[in-house]
Amino acid sequence: MALHRLDVRGLLGGDRALRAALPRPVDEQDRSADLVASLIAEVRAGGDAALRRLTDRFDAVVLDDLRVSEAEVRSAGERVSEPLLGALVTAHQRIEAYHAYEATTARQGSEPYRSQGVTVHALVRPVARAGCYAPGGRARYPSTVLMCAVPARVAGVEEVVLCVPPGPDGRIDDATLAAAWVAGIDTVYRVGGAQAIAAMAYGTETIEPVEVIVGPGNRYVAEAKRQVSGVVGVASAFAGPSEVVVVAGPETPPPLAAIDLVVQAEHGPDGLAWLVTWSETVADAVGKEIERLVATSPRRADLEATLGAGGHAVVVDGPEQAMAVANVVAPEHLELLVDDAEALLPLVHAAGAVFLGAGSPASIGDYLAGPNHVLPTNRSARFASGLRVDDFLRHIHAVRVEPEALEALGPDVVTLAETEGLPAHAESVRRRLVR
């Protein structure tokens, strides 16, 4: 599967000309607004009965009890493998440590501000109840459970609940429940899709309404959050299908650029995977490597769907124009796989998260770097930030991974990625461990 080739070298007219020349994302609201509106109305009117009916319709599962028992959640930690549980605990500790630091920084405003005799006190209060959403169906995402729940707990939220689509047997998989147990989720509900967002926003007989909803999802979940925004707080803007822009120079190893494009594409359709380079040699080599990876991937259908609609290779004049392209796209993940990547940071104006250098894969950010992996998509990084502690009470994080850190954390990343059925995530780390 070759990337669509675009060449914007020598293009005049600045950002306006780039916006005109580059493909625009499909308006997800137009594609899904009517269906999502009908689902929200059905849940508001029908409560639990509507949730059961919609779960049968979309997940082909007939449920008696929407609530997952505490015993089932608790025992999941005993059923998963020891390496997986260890990786979940390590991820939880690292995410918690980072968000605790973030919370301390955010609360520096609690000290009175004094200026020329005027004193201003900043009061910080957490919301009482937060709702987390973790996707299901195509893959399982215990890491997302941690990313949503940990900052809520660090912020001091009293009650945290989780909605997850059920599997074909009506159950939530053990890895996801184990993550809920590790994170201290109060209640887990086996409900997914736009109907879960409606339930958390408006409440049903079983599910009490929350004050903030967080977590990524498909375009219907994202549209549902957009429609209930204002009824509840919705963090991280449009957290929809996954995106990456990889900036590569002549020194960039094509196999690393290729695997990192595939990493985001394997999440499924509607995402973006862009290569931006000033080396036609690199563009050609990356394209060939992607074709090889797609042909042998167990998620070939997902890769072909994503790359067919949203895979591009943009050839530019040089680093400055590459960053201008990246700012127009405003991607969820921006990888600067070049030497001295920090020198390009002043040119970053719109991205969910930035990863610096060929040794810093976005997969580390997905699991163990510390900052959150729930990030703005669909160009909403122009005005929004990744999920943070203060979403419960506009930031870009940039991650560099030193070799010793990759050696120490890499095996746990591989374990979590393989658990979630995302082989390219694991391979992006393996390729760096053997260099």
351-384 burial string, b = 16+ CB within 10 Å, else e?
bbbbbbbbbbbbbbbbbbbbbbbbbbbbbbbbeb
- The contacts of residue 321 (CB under 8 Å, 6+ apart) are 8, 9, 11, 278
Q: Nearest-CA neighbor of 390 among 152, 201, 229?
A: 152
Give, in order, the Cα–Cα distances in Å from 45 to each of 195, 229, 232: 12, 19, 18
Report the alpha-carbon distance of residue 145 to residue 187 in Å, rounded: 12
Q: One of 333, 373, 397, 425 is an active-site residue; which one?
A: 333
Q: One of 211, 243, 332, 427 is an active-site residue; which one?
A: 332
Q: Is 333 a catalytic residue?
A: yes
Question: Which residue numbers are catalytic?
Answer: 332-333
